[in-house]
Amino acid sequence: MNYGANGSGLAVPVDPSAAGSYLLSLDATLASDLFVELADGRQLEIIEATPDPYDREELYYLVPDCTELVQASSVERVLEVLNTAMGTGLTCGILSAVSVPQFTEMFTRTVFQDGAPDREMVALWVAELTELEPDELTGLLNQLDVELLAELF
């Protein structure tokens, strides 16, 4: 297996999918130290190559603030992570990091079925949003399109 040095004397596999598995097999502190030392592009490459959304979420949390990584990720990958925890109130870590365009696209994809809003999905999203810190929720709501906000409430 090929390994790429990250400057700490420790090595992360060059193959992104192997790197994700490797990092998640380590002690959380060591994995975080290794992951943080990688270039942002390499971090994103590893996250995007990780097929399991639960594992992908754990990789996001290896950095102290995952906002940039979440916002650089594809909407599909972030939505897969959110879907694993929707309805549990545990999406706030990732949900608080998404950009307004990401949120809008994810909300639209999951809520509108045949052009009409699915009320159960709206309720699910509202429940998840209420788990955000008040300032995070206010910041997001202030940036959302008025028509989208009307669907939420």
d(CA 69, CA 123): 27
Residues 7-25: tens digit of each pLDDT: 445 678 888 989 999 999 9
Please check the confidence at residue 2 and state whether its pLDDT lies above 50.
no
Q: What is the pLDDT of residue 153?
A: 65
What's the pLDDT score for residue 1? 40
Please provide the distance, in angstroms rounded to a whole number, between the alpha carbons at the two ends of the chain: 52
The whole-number pLDDT of residue 89 equals 74
- Residues in Cβ contact with 124 at an 8 Å cutoff, skipping those fewer than 6 apart: 86, 87
Q: Indicate the Cα dihedral angle 36, 33, 91, 87, nearest 10°.
A: 140
* pLDDT tens-digit readout, 82-138: 988 887 877 888 999 999 999 999 998 998 888 888 889 888 988 898 889 999 988
Least reliable range by pLDDT among 51-55, 94-98, 137-141: 137-141
Q: Distance of alpha carbon 59 from its chain centroid, rounded?
A: 9
pLDDT of residue 114: 83
- Give the highest mean pLDDT range of 48-52, 83-87, 118-122, 149-153: 48-52
Q: For the segment 63-74, what is each residue's pLDDT rounded down to a tens digit?
A: 999 999 999 999
| Predicted pLDDT at 115 | 80
